């Protein structure tokens, strides 16, 4: 269909400054069409795949023809634009045509952020690296995914380094996904955070998929964003989850036995014990993890220490719901610091603390419903 003029839609009505759903070819990013999207729900995270879902109305034959020609799961990129800025980008994975009792047609669509593409790429070549910066190794994995025939989807990156060197060996016989390799590399002791950000180049206007790396974490922005209740914070939840907490940890690696006639024994990390927690009255809580492709003791021990460190405290990820019209937040600020101030019965003297935004779920405006965002915060 070629490049088309882009139109603004919310609930099927043309509105200035509203969300726009841009459908593009995944490999070339050629704009195919702009379609109305109702009931939009979008989220973005550091550390896991974000999603975008919505419903395309099909009121007539002309729209049905456009949908048939435009919406192809597995090869279509979906970009969500708001006020001229790209707020989300990803790959369209599933669709479902629906007809109600009155014969009205629509198509439900579901997309995963661009990280989801790497879930569908297998490491099919044995790769061995020695003394390589872990950021360079992460980029090497993305290069592997994109340098194969049909694999390049336009993921870009910079040349920054972390200062942490790694030795790694990946066997083609393991058939691990590129996403799994990146996640394992990031979660080891001294690791990093990664995501594929989606934004528009402020100079050229080009849509960009960029590998974003941060050591030890991704940080954006130069100053705190202040959120208050009473104020723009409409609601909050404060979950505390100790189901995966551990004061003692041991990890398993690959089998050390090369003789098929003998019992197989896995490589084991040292046993890590939080003596200070036990002395303070915590009960012993055991935890473990499996790394069946890790054959080096030093690598397995580094995995164990990184996972044990994360498991030693109850998992707490506060959630705050805010009115977007009253704050300057966008999904591009994942990794930003916020100053949260709450005064209520739980904090009668006032909570005043700094957190990092690690996730955001946005509910787009519809008739009679304001635009809100639920922020997921990292406790320092």
Q: Where are the domains of the chain?
A: 19-113, 127-214, 225-239+317-378, 248-311
Specify the CATH class of 19-113 in words. Answer: mainly beta
Sign of the dihedral defined by the CA atoms of residues 13, 19, 24, 26, in that order: negative
Q: Which of 177-181, 207-211, 252-256 has the lowest mean pLDDT?
A: 252-256
Residue 205 sits at the vertex; the CA angle it makes with 200 and 206, to the nearest 5 degrees, is 70
Residue 220's nearest CA partner among 344, 332, 379, 55 is: 332
| Chain-centroid distance, C-alpha 18 | 24
pLDDT of the residue at 16? 34
**229 SS3 class:** strand
Which helix (H) or strand (E) covers residue 84, if one does? none
pLDDT of the residue at 162? 98
CATH 2.40.450 correct for 225-239+317-378:
yes
Q: What mean pLDDT is predicted for residues 327-351?
A: 90
Q: Is 164 exposed, middle or buried (0-12, 13-18, 19+ CB in 10 A)?
A: middle
Measured between alpha carbons, how far is 349 from 53 in angstroms, rounded to an integer? 40
CATH 3.90.1200 correct for 127-214:
no
Q: What mean pLDDT is predicted for residues 194-209?
A: 94
Measured between alpha carbons, how far is 131 from 167 in angstroms, rounded to an integer? 5
- Give yes or no for residue 367 having a pLDDT over 60: yes
- Give yes or no for residue 1 having a pLDDT over 60: no
Alpha helices in the chain (DSSP H): 61-70, 115-118, 134-147, 178-187, 275-279, 297-311
Measured between alpha carbons, how far is 23 from 54 in angstroms, rounded to an integer? 13
Confidence band, pLDDT 50/70/90 cuts, at residue 181: very high
pLDDT of the residue at 10? 32
């Amino acid at each position: 269909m070629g490049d088309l003029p882009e139109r603004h839609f919310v609930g099927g009505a043309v509105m200035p400054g509203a969300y726009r759903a841009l459908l593009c070819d995944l490999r070339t990013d050629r704009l195919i069409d702009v379609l109305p999207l109702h009931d939009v729900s979008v989220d973005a995270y550091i550390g896991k795949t974000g999603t975008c879902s919505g419903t395309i109305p099909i009121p007539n034959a002309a729209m049905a023809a456009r949908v048939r020609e435009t919406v192809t799961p597995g090869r279509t990129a979906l970009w969500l634009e708001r006020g001229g800025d790209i707020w989300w980008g990803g790959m369209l994975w599933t669709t479902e045509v629906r007809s109600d009792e009155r014969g009205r047609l629509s198509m439900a669509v579901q997309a995963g952020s661009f990280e989801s593409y790497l879930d569908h790429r297998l490491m099919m070549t044995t790769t061995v690296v020695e003394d390589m910066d872990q950021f360079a190794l992460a980029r090497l994995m993305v290069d592997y995914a994109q340098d194969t025939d049909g694999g390049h989807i336009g993921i870009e990156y910079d040349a920054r380094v972390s200062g942490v060197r790694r030795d790694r060996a990946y066997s083609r016989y393991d058939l691990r996904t590129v996403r799994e390799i990146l996640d394992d590399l990031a979660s080891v002791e001294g690791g990093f955070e990664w995501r594929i950000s989606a934004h528009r180049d402020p100079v050229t206007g080009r849509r960009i998929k960029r590998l974003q790396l941060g050591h030890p974490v991704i940080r954006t922005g130069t100053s705190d964003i202040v959120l208050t209740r009473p104020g723009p914070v409409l609601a909050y939840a404060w979950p505390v989850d100790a189901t995966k907490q551990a004061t003692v940890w041991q990890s398993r690696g690959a089998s050390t036995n090369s003789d098929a006639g003998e019992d197989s024994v896995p490589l084991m990390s040292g046993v890590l014990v939080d003596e200070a927690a036990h002395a303070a009255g915590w009960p012993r809580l055991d935890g473990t993890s499996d790394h069946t492709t890790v054959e080096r003791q030093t690598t397995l021990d580094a995995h164990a220490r990184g996972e044990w460190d994360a498991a030693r405290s109850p998992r707490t990820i506060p959630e705050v719901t805010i009115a977007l019209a009253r704050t300057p937040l966008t999904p591009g600020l994942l990794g930003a610091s916020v100053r949260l101030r709450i005064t209520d019965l739980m904090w009668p003297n006032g909570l005043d603390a700094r957190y990092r935004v690690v996730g955001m779920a946005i509910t787009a405006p519809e008739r009679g419903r304001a635009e809100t965002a639920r922020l997921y915060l990292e406790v320092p």
